[in-house]
Amino acid sequence: MNYLILIRHGQSTWNLEKRFTGWVDVDLTKNGKSEAKKAGQLIKNEKINIDLYYTSFQLRAKNTLKIIQNELKDNKDVKNAWELNERHYGALTGLSKDKMKIKLGEDKIYQFRRSWDLKPDPLDKKNPYHPLNIETYKEISKDKIPDTESLKDTYERVIKFYKDEIENKNNKNILISAHGNSLRALCKYLFNLDNNEISKLEIPTGNPLLIKLENNKISNCKYLDNERAKDLLVF
């Protein structure tokens, strides 16, 4: 038996401003830091020793994990993986969700946010928000850096990493601090959700999802903050 804890980063500045963030590096709000602190306290209450920590290349996920580790008084090394990054929103990156709803219609924006294989137009490589122009990604091979992604694209990179690096670490308690769409992708795999079900799954910020595993099969799961729990569609 072992545990897998998934946590979406606390509220970010662009979450608050309702902007499409994707691969752009933005930090946590004051509320986001409070969410991360509470997450750390909730995890601590479970008295689970975390063996391995993973997060993305992105500041909001990394800082969420730092706050959690501080609450746990645990300074173990963290594995950073760009494969756990948020979905790349292409030409929508940096734009206001509310303004784009007016321009394109609510149905179209919902499709971009929740559909399985629809992707926005690619982001111009000269755009300052393109990962090619962000220092964080200088060490990643250019052929691996996307211009835009669907959830399907995100799923493929997240699940390959999970299978290669995490899934077979039997009897290890693992915590992953990542993003709404990278965690939706992972939940699709873990809970065997179909393409329609995954469109309904919402991952709350800063609320740890505790998954109990028996031989890599889920035996139980729950959000640790009951007041902010979302429907898991399963269990």
**pLDDT tens profile 43-90:** 999 999 999 999 999 999 999 999 999 999 999 999 999 999 999 999
Mean pLDDT computed over 110-127: 89
9 labelled catalytic: yes
Token pair listed for 170: 């039997």
Helix (H, G, I), strand (E, B) or coil at 211: strand
- Distance spanning both ends of the chain, measured CA to CA: 18
pLDDT at res. 235: 45
Q: Cβ of 186: how many Cβ atoms within 10 Å?
A: 24
**What value, to the nearest 5°, has the Cα angle with vertex 177 and ends 4 and 43?**
55
Contact 23, 134 (CB under 8 A): yes
Mean pLDDT of 209-225: 91
pLDDT level of residue 199 (50, 70, 90 thresholds): confident
pLDDT tens across 147-196, in order? 999 999 999 999 999 999 999 888 899 999 999 999 999 999 999 999 88
Annotated catalytic residue: which of 9, 88, 130, 179? 9
CB-CB contact of 194 with 222 (8 Å): no
State yes or no: is 130 an active-site residue.
no
For residues 132-140, give the mean pLDDT: 92
Q: Residue 165's Cα: distance from chain center in Å?
A: 17
Catalytic one among 86, 88, 130, 149? 86
Which residues contact residue 131 at a Cβ distance below 8 angstroms, ignoring those fewer than 6 apart?
A: 23, 88, 137, 140, 145, 146
Q: Would the pTM count as exceeding 0.85?
A: yes
Domains and CATH numbers, the chain: 2-12+20-228 (3.40.50.1240)
